[in-house]
Chains A and B, each alone.
Chain A
Amino acid sequence: MAQTIDVVAPARSAKEPLFDRRMIAGLAILVGILTIFLTYTRLPSAISKFSIVDIAATKDTQSAFSQILDPAAFPGALEWIAYGVNLWDANAIGMFFAMLLGGAAMTAFQFSPRTRVRNLLGKGGVAGAGLGGALGVPLFMCSACSAPVSLGFYRGGAALETSLGVILGSALFHPISLMAIFLLMPVEMAAARIAFGLVMLLAVVPAVARLRTGSPACAVGAPPGLEAPPSGGPAGERIGWVRAGRQAVSAWADNTVDFALKLGPPMLLAGFVVGVIFSILPPQGISGSIGTGAVAILIAAAVGTLVQVPGMFEIPLTLGVLALGLGEGAATAILLTVPSTGLITFGVTRREYGWKVPGSMMAATFALGSAAGFLVRAL
């Protein structure tokens, strides 16, 4: 499948070329796939969901989104199978395109001139996180599906802050979700969602990124067929466009297949684990036993931190929590924590980022989601 790639030792001089033709080809693949994803599936889907997103998801009603298997048709101990299969079906399109986009992102950036483009994406701190957030917004993906794209950036040479920012930008600043939240929910809850997203992106991500030690994953997990990161040196410039395109497509295929093998099985497994949590503690089914106070907020935040749902589903879920009388505090905790991260994102990113980074993101999600819930309840 892979062709031999010319590898030239990086020349850190003022004569480093501005671009590599293979990088341009990789970017074209990335933009092309993203365009197909948005125009053929994601935007039409988001717009169609907008018309039904105000149907509260309660224990006795069907989910606002389609189902493959009906959990009610399963014995109680096996309901997790239905939840897991439904979650896989709901995320199937996003996850497939996430593999393709992650592979394309890694391809584009691994061919980028080492000091020019990588300096831009290699910025750490608040600036890097903000850049990542901005790059994540057009993905329109949940935090599970955007995780492979994040890894593609990271393995291609982007800073960890930028890579984590991609996940949060996509999950928390989904334009259609934000529009629906402002239209359907009290303004204090909508404001809490915006504030939570900004704090997570601009404060938590830079802090959490410092926990990652060692070299970036791109130096450790290079896909098969590429023995060393190629450089955009003189050899890259002399390659013709046709050959550059072929090398970029070949690298993209290798990267995508590598992503699928490393991330597909953990995604499936984590989905069934989320299914177990849903069957034991469905967020919309715990009313009546925990009231509307601090316990309700903490349990809602904990469940929301662990579970993962398709894009925009936090909205009917939150409306369901409100309809069941759990109060705005618990509803706010659900609205903030559910889309942010979860066990699927943890399982997918743990291998590249180490367990401290995704674990700390989950801890921060729980803490800030709970705090926001207490604040909104007090208002």
Chain B
Amino acid sequence: MKKMWVRRILGTVVLVVMGASAAYSLNFAGLRDKFPPPAVAAASALSSPSAR
């Protein structure tokens, strides 16, 4: 019984992490805009006027 609940909790944690990744990829609630990926942030910094 205890092992079953441990599996359920761990599985729920994994599912929540996957859901959060999906939400970020979908730009749900503007998450991706608020926290841009490092690759995009670096490209933006290079193209900004202050970088020239």
Which A residues are within 8 Å of any B CB, using their own CB?
1, 41, 66-70, 73, 88-90, 92-93, 95-97, 99, 224-225, 254, 256-261, 264-265
Given contacts A96-B19, A225-B4, A258-B11, 16 further A-B contacts (CB under 8 A): A66-B37, A66-B40, A73-B38, A90-B25, A92-B22, A92-B25, A93-B25, A95-B22, A96-B22, A99-B15, A224-B7, A257-B7, A257-B12, A257-B15, A260-B12, A261-B11
Asked whether, in the complex, the Cβ of A264 is within 8 Å of the Cβ of B18, the reply is yes
Q: How far is the CA of A254 from the CA of B40 in the complex (A)?
A: 38
**Complex contact A70–B10 (CB within 8 A):** no
Within 8 A of A (CB), among B1-43: 4, 7-8, 10-12, 14-15, 17-19, 21-22, 24-26, 37-40, 42
Expressed in whole angstroms, the Cα–Cα distance for A256 and B40 within the complex equals 33
Bound state CA distance, A183 and B39, in angstroms? 31
- A99's contact among B4, B18, B24, B39, by CB below 8 Å, is which? B18
Q: Which residues of B contact A68 (CB under 8 A)?
A: 37-39
Q: Which residues of A contact B19 (CB under 8 A)?
A: 96
A to B contact number (C-beta, < 8 Å): 71
Which B residues are in CB contact (< 8 Å) with A70? 38-39, 42
Q: Across the interface, name the chain A residue whose C-beta is closest to B5.
A: A224
Report whether B21 and A96 are in contact in the complex, using a CB–CB cutoff of 8 Å.
yes
Assembly CA distance A256 to B19 (angstroms): 12
List B residues at the A interface (Cβ < 8 Å): 4, 7-8, 10-12, 14-15, 17-19, 21-22, 24-26, 37-40, 42
Contact of A93 among B4, B12, B26, B38 (CB under 8 A): B26
Complex Cα distance, B7 from A264, in Å, reads 13
Q: How distant is the Cα of A53 from the Cα of B38 in the complex, in angstroms?
A: 24
Q: Which residue of A lies closest to B19 (CB)?
A: A96
A271–B45 Cα distance when bound, in Å, is 29
Q: A residues within 8 A CB of B38?
A: 68-70, 73
Beta-carbon contact of B22 and A97 below 8 Å: yes
Q: Which residues of A contact B22 (CB under 8 A)?
A: 92-93, 95-97
Identify 21 residue pairs between A and B in the complex whose beta-carbon atoms are under 8 Å apart, listed by A's number.
A66-B40, A67-B39, A68-B37, A69-B39, A73-B38, A73-B42, A89-B24, A89-B37, A92-B21, A93-B22, A95-B18, A96-B15, A96-B19, A224-B7, A257-B7, A257-B11, A260-B11, A260-B12, A260-B14, A260-B15, A265-B14
Pair B15/A256 contact, Cβ less than 8 Å: yes
Kindly list chain B residues whose C-beta atoms are within 8 Å of the C-beta of A92. Answer: 18, 21-22, 24-25
Contact A69 B15 (CB under 8 A): no
B17 proximity list for chain A (CB < 8 A):
264
Flag if A260 contacts B18 (CB, 8 Å). Answer: yes
CA gap between A73 and B43 in the complex, in Å: 11
